Amino acid sequence: MLAEALRSKRQDSFEDLNASELFCPKCKQSMPVNEKPLLILSDGELLDYQCQKCGTSLGTRKR
């Protein structure tokens, strides 16, 4: 029970993280990213991470 509670707490803390840099396959290096709203959902919004240099979409996250 204790291990399950700790695992749940750790997972909750990762939900609050925001990426400041991600690897861009086009630039071939870790690059700063911008978060752009992609979709408004009933339980939050979907954000798209885009490379600041070339604009390539590098992933999404739900907020």
Give me the domain span that covers residue 48: 2-62
| pLDDT value of residue 3 | 61
Alpha carbon distance 54, 4 (integer Å): 42
Q: How many domains does the chain have?
A: 1
Query: How confident is the prediction for the chain on average, in pLDDT?
Result: 85
| pLDDT value of residue 5 | 58
What is the band of 7 on the pLDDT scale with cuts at 50, 70, 90?
low
Alpha carbon distance 3, 28 (integer Å): 39
What is the band of 9 on the pLDDT scale with cuts at 50, 70, 90?
low
Residue-wise pLDDT tens digits, 11-28: 566 667 788 999 999 999
Query: Are the beta carbons of 33 and 21 closer than 8 angstroms?
Result: yes
Cα-trace Rg, the chain: 15
- From 51, 59, 62, select the one nearest 27 (Cα to Cα): 51
Q: Which amino acid is at 57?
A: S
| pLDDT value of residue 10 | 58
What's 29's domain CATH number?
2.20.25
